């Protein structure tokens, strides 16, 4: 099999581009992943709604629990704004199921065990030799475009930051 120099250049460009963060105004990369209840969830399922797509490192850790609790606490406010919360980590569906049950979470947590979606959103990092999702959030508008992003989120007040942005962008 012969691969041209142009073919190699295009392949290399795609590989590196997969690790870059989608920019504001760009289409949000679509995906399909299993949720904590085993159902398959795709980003395009939420067309016509705002989506808070947040990536987090690990179920049950302090920062991830704080962030999830705050999204759960504010869920009614998101719903009033026609927004859904979707969390993504590289943890398994079983881990997500246990985390949701223990913490009383009712929104979808998606299992990116292959790490493809975290990579697609520039949200995959190496921590002590393990690949985990970075703490990043993307607000996707009802047309499926990135409306705003937060990279390296601080959990305690993040939900409020997203709600403020959502209110501003909906005008």
Active site residue 100: no
Render the burial of 109-141: b for 16+ CB within 10 Å, e for the rest. bbbbeeeebbbbbbbbeeeeeeebbbbbbbbbb
Query: CB of 139 within 8 A of CB of 162?
Result: yes
* Residues in a beta bridge with 52: 85, 139
Q: Looking at 28, 52, 64, 90, which residue is catalytic?
A: 64
Polymer length of the chain: 171
User: Tokens in use for 98?
Assistant: 């246990």
**Which residues are known to be catalytic?**
64
């Amino acid at each position: 099999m012969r691969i041209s120099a142009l073919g190699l250049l295009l392949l290399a460009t795609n590989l590196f581009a997969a690790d870059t963060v989608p920019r504001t105004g760009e289409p949000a990369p679509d995906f399909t992943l299993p949720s904590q209840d085993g159902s398959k969830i795709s980003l395009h399922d939420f067309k016509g709604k705002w989506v808070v797509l947040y990536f987090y490192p690990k179920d049950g850790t302090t920062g991830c629990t704080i962030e999830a609790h705050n999204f759960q606490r504010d869920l009614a406010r998101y719903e009033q704004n026609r927004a859904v919360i979707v969390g993504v980590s590289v943890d398994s569906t079983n881990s997500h199921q246990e985390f949701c049950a223990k913490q009383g979470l009712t929104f979808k947590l998606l299992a990116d065990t292959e790490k493809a979606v975290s990579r697609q959103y520039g949200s995959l990092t190496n921590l002590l030799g393990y690949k985990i999702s970075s703490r990043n959030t993307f607000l996707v508008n009802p047309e499926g475009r990135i409306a705003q992003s937060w990279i390296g989120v601080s959990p305690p007040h993040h939900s409020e930051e997203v709600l403020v942005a959502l209110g501003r962008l909906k005008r």
